Structure 1
């Protein structure tokens, strides 16, 4: 078997005719690579997303916690005169001969057609996007020490794909110093001496890496960004280290599973953590939605992430849609959706008019309703008071995208038909109803009921007066938007009369609570009760000599 160096020499001689006749297709090949690299990756951000994507697609040894580390340094370890150099360290298995053959080609990715196996890359030139920020990338992996050049090779007139063996700069000892002399160097290292006009853009992108970038990656469990300078005071990149841990995986009977994922993000300007309820559900791909780029895929896998607490965003906004990695779209929804969307070349948005993406978006409402139902209904022994915060995941705010507003409206239409709203039962047992079957009470009357209950008044029949009463834990101003979104309104004015008459609220409470009840009725008499049957209910207590108090 050929050594790594012998393999590179074989590629140079056989594929690129170095040392022999010039390949007549070399100029056309060069223009093709240049055009693809420029068109498909129009923004500096994509070199970073592509490298993360490639790392997620890599194979990892068993027992290894997959990690990806970015280090930017002002040291010119390649001897190219670069003002700054970006290094990427990945503890994967390392480059194989087939990987090397692929990277020396265009659109011949070893991952192509392997969507079912979990690969998230697809264009076959992901690595070549680094040429947006460097003229000469280096790869050190599994004994390979090679570099590429965007300028045409003088021996074959081709750029981008012709490998050259690296004898000297950078030296492994210098790479080790930057990584940390006390740590074992990971299997694969990319060294990217940055173009002068890209240094600030790269630093800005590194400082803006979102902690939630790991949310939907199944392999990489740790990602870090830091800057290495002899004088740390010169560092301008905001360092961050992100780790993820998944537990409590539970399978469901609708081809879905739920889990809890915990993210921790720490850095010199950032120290936060957040847990997410993850709902992953499979849907069959409809024939009418199939496209050529996904012909081998027969099911959509949609994952929704519901954050328990504040999102781990850096900056003022947080992406709301992922295609394994974040898309630059702010949805205004309080949850994050992930699917194998087809994206615009700029990776700024999903392609809304694409039939593949339309099919995915049509499935999101079902996934959301199933996820929320699982959260709310299947909570076991959890008290009703723990349920209302889960409704904060409802998309009560409109999106700037009409296509996402359509998703929002379908979610609403499905939820109003579900038994998901808890009613007040004054017992440990939980009861759920459709939103239209439940009504809210005025806050002042809730106060009266709570005091009456404490004084021994039986309120078990509270929901037996024509409508179910919304749980007191849910009937609060903080949930007004959610309840309005679901169409939960107030109980009728007549309901109060029936409740007072049937619940012994006149004779069964103390004088203080009784007076509070009368004041409540007086305050709302003209606006709510003057035209109801309350005026026919005995409300005034009186005492006859030698007899118990009565009401009239």
Structure 2
């Protein structure tokens, strides 16, 4: 049956530079045998048995391996994944502290001491000192690898992801690690994202004077020095350090016990790094089992379409499978290569695409172990688990005879969740995609969601608007109707561009687009209120906002430690109030839309509560205007 369906769909297009690496200045042995032994010979030595010369040679060998890794497409895959795991995996700017406390919990301690973690804060740095036994060679190798850990579940350790140390890059671009004979640092950004796992050897003269006394006083401790990304004595730095202090919850110690672990580690470190990251990014990154559907809708939105067609994504469900069909132009070779890579994408910010993570296609492994992809001449599949986690990016060629319907156990609950995940409001933020079809073969039911622009709002289009200290460019409003099989819902959707401030370091265009939408029907309940093209989270607002937020890797929350997101948040607050003041239809219902009147503030993080505070401040300032509707005075 599936073969016939695919044959039918073949009638329409259906889908679901070489890099040169230069060496940094470091001394590396040219003796290949010595290079190999530099890693192997220290594996079974305790921290006290490793000399400074051996440690330096070890670090130089890892540096050599990382900087001479010349499989270009695999290097790009690793770099993409490193960036996500190292800098944008967490929503909280101080999450790294919990990861380091976890590391301290899992360390080895002499029985004669009281295990202790000392956290020293200054205006420009954080210094963490732990009286553990010291780093072993395998610990250093794990720190210099991707998603590899020396911890095991059997040993009852808290950590099992192997990404804990990488979280420090959210606080510092130049972390230093000093432990017995080990003295190493990292420097990002380097040549590329491999710098996250490329250690540099340092000497005593490289140690900042501000921490040298602590290190010399406690030479047997492990010290982690984090010079902050923020400029000292600025409000940003002080706020960050205050958050660090607040993050130290005394109750953390209630769950801490000290355990010991045996010595187990395998070589072939780069493949193991890739496999660890693949498993983490593909299998256990998302909290929702149906998040993959949003990612595939994102793919459909970002695809290329002929101008003569209405872009459409068709979703067919049966008891044992999902079949997604998209009338895009078809896959290019570069698209297939990105799908078969790790955290690599062909999408660019300049092209105004929703997706930028490069991990979205891999989300399908949350639903299927054997996804098939057919697009024009392309016919490929994946099969996991294979030999190891590399099977997530290892394609297998298939022929027409392989297109057989599988017969797996029924999963009605899962399929019901898939249908519920198709929120009609998704189409409000789509530039290209106009139509979604959901075909439930179980119940022989077809649901069609279609977007229709029915006209402008009462807010006149304006090329430039100045409100308070904010400037909005090309501001316009549209009345949009979403048609479904049960009727339709109407929204007032307003879009504008804003200039990105110069102080924000972003590899992006100088302008970014923000959108706010209001449901017209009073009984309409929004399932999600924050979008980045696709739904991100729900704040309980009676309006929705869409912007090019920087998201955590699983796209299920906004990164709260990013200046660009803060910049967007304040502009959305001002635009919201400006729209209430200047569109008569919105002003009539301003008390319905204002978040300060209809939500419980306790459900939000402090970062989002600031948006409510900004709105409240503007509302209080302009309340006489908002309430003066009958007189027509402005």
> Cα gap change, 1:153/1:141 in structure 2, threshold over 3 Å: closer, same or farther?
farther
**By how many angstroms is 1:109 displaced?**
1.1
RMSD (Å), alpha carbons? 3.2
1:266 to 484, 497, 502: 484
Aligned residues: 353
- Please tell me whether residue 397 in structure 1 is matched to residue 612 in structure 2: no
- Please tell me whether residue 89 in structure 1 is matched to residue 293 in structure 2: no
Alignment-derived partner of residue 165 in structure 1: 397
Kept in 2: contact 1:272–1:312 (CA 8 A):
no
CA distance in 2, matches of 1:26, 1:413: 54
- Please tell me whether residue 360 in structure 1 is matched to residue 596 in structure 2: no
What is the 5 A alignment of 1:33-72? Answer: 33-72=278-317
- Please tell me whether residue 276 in structure 1 is matched to residue 491 in structure 2: yes
Alignment-derived partner of residue 24 in structure 2: none
> Cα gap change, 1:332/1:133 in structure 2, threshold over 3 Å: closer, same or farther?
closer
CA distance in 2, matches of 1:343, 1:90: 26
> Cα gap change, 1:349/1:101 in structure 2, threshold over 3 Å: closer, same or farther?
closer
**By how many angstroms is 1:240 displaced?**
3.0
What is the 5 A alignment of 1:234-249? Answer: 240-248=447-455
Kept in 1: contact 2:588–2:629 (CA 8 A):
no
> Cα gap change, 1:53/1:127 in structure 2, threshold over 3 Å: closer, same or farther?
same
Deviations, residues 393-427 of structure 1 (Å, cap 9, x unaligned): 333224332433332332232234444443555xx
CA distance in 2, matches of 1:424, 1:251: 24
> Cα gap change, 1:298/1:247 in structure 2, threshold over 3 Å: closer, same or farther?
farther
- Please tell me whether residue 257 in structure 1 is matched to residue 475 in structure 2: yes
Q: Structure 2 stretches of 5 or more lacking a match?
A: 1-71, 75-267, 465-472
- Please tell me whether residue 219 in structure 1 is matched to residue 432 in structure 2: yes
Kept in 2: contact 1:133–1:198 (CA 8 A):
no
> Cα gap change, 1:387/1:43 in structure 2, threshold over 3 Å: closer, same or farther?
closer
Give the match's secondary structure for 1:241.
Answer: strand
> Cα gap change, 1:42/1:392 in structure 2, threshold over 3 Å: closer, same or farther?
closer
> Cα gap change, 1:411/1:355 in structure 2, threshold over 3 Å: closer, same or farther?
same
Alignment-derived partner of residue 463 in structure 1: none
Give the match's secondary structure for 2:453.
Answer: strand
**By how many angstroms is 1:148 displaced?**
1.4
Alignment-derived partner of residue 318 in structure 1: 527
Greater radius of gyration (CA): 1
Give the match's secondary structure for 2:393.
Answer: coil
Alignment-derived partner of residue 520 in structure 2: 308
What is the 5 A alignment of 1:151-550? Answer: 151-152=385-386, 158-169=390-401, 171=403, 196=409, 200-229=413-442, 232=443, 240-248=447-455, 251-254=461-464, 255-267=473-485, 271-290=486-505, 294-310=506-522, 313=525, 318-329=527-538, 331-376=539-584, 388-389=588-589, 392-395=592-595, 396-398=597-599, 399=601, 400-401=603-604, 402-418=606-622, 419-422=625-628, 424-425=630-631, 430-432=632-634
> Cα gap change, 1:322/1:194 in structure 2, threshold over 3 Å: closer, same or farther?
farther
Deviations, residues 123-154 of structure 1 (Å, cap 9, x unaligned): 11211111111111111112211111123369
CA distance in 2, matches of 1:143, 1:43: 33
Give the match's secondary structure for 2:429.
Answer: coil
CA distance in 1, matches of 2:396, 2:509: 38
CA distance in 2, matches of 1:62, 1:262: 21
> Cα gap change, 1:346/1:162 in structure 2, threshold over 3 Å: closer, same or farther?
closer
**By how many angstroms is 1:164 displaced?**
2.0
Kept in 2: contact 1:151–1:159 (CA 8 A):
yes
2:361 to 120, 123, 127: 127
**By how many angstroms is 1:324 displaced?**
1.1
Give the match's secondary structure for 1:159.
Answer: helix
**By how many angstroms is 1:274 displaced?**
1.6
CA distance in 2, matches of 1:24, 1:319: 42
Query: What TM-score, normalized by structure 1, do the two folds share?
Result: 0.58
Kept in 1: contact 2:290–2:417 (CA 8 A):
no
State the 4+ residue runs in structure 1 displaced beyond 6 angstroms.
none
CA distance in 2, matches of 1:88, 1:26: 32
Query: What TM-score, normalized by structure 2, do the two folds share?
Result: 0.51
CA distance in 2, matches of 1:388, 1:431: 14
CA distance in 2, matches of 1:295, 1:72: 40
**By how many angstroms is 1:51 displaced?**
0.5
**By how many angstroms is 1:354 displaced?**
3.3
Kept in 1: contact 2:499–2:511 (CA 8 A):
yes
> Cα gap change, 1:195/1:33 in structure 2, threshold over 3 Å: closer, same or farther?
farther
Deviations, residues 242-275 of structure 1 (Å, cap 9, x unaligned): 11122535631321332324333434xxx13122
Give the match's secondary structure for 1:107.
Answer: coil
Alignment-derived partner of residue 211 in structure 2: none
**By how many angstroms is 1:197 displaced?**
8.7
**By how many angstroms is 1:303 displaced?**
0.6
CA distance in 1, matches of 2:341, 2:560: 32
Q: Structure 1 stretches of 5 or more lacking a match?
A: 1-13, 17-22, 75-83, 176-192, 380-385, 433-552
Identify which of structures 1 and 2 has the higher relative contact order when contacts are C-alpha pairs closer than 8 Å and 6+ apart.
2
